[in-house]
Amino acid sequence: MKTQIIIKADRVVKTQAQKTAKELGLPLSTVINAYLREFIRSQKVTFSMEPELKPEVGRLLKKASADFRKGKNVSPSFDNAQDTLDYLHSA
């Protein structure tokens, strides 16, 4: 026997969830039912989100990493604060 559960969800979250479920070839209701069954079985609530960088940030990090390996755009190390300030003011 089927029943309806009415919940309030952020519109963007719902749309993204529907899109992701569709890409997996599943209706969103199947995904939600699977989560509910797992919740019943484990009696645990688990939230996990892998951080995802914006594409521009990813490109900048790759460039910075490549620069670091080449020794480009890297400041020297300093033994004291005055040497650091002198270096910064010399640029």
Give tens-digit pLDDT for 25-65: 999 999 999 999 999 999 999 887 777 788 899 899 999 99
* Helix, strand and coil in the chain, % to nearest 5: 60, 0, 40
**Overall pTM surpassing 0.95 (yes/no):** no
Q: Can you tell me the distance from the alpha carbon of 53 to that of 10, in angstroms, rounded to the nearest whole number? A: 22
User: What rounded mean pLDDT belongs to the chain?
Assistant: 91
How much is the average pLDDT of 52-80? 89
Residues 6+ apart with CB under 8 A from 84: 78
CB of 46 closer than 8 Å to CB of 40:
no
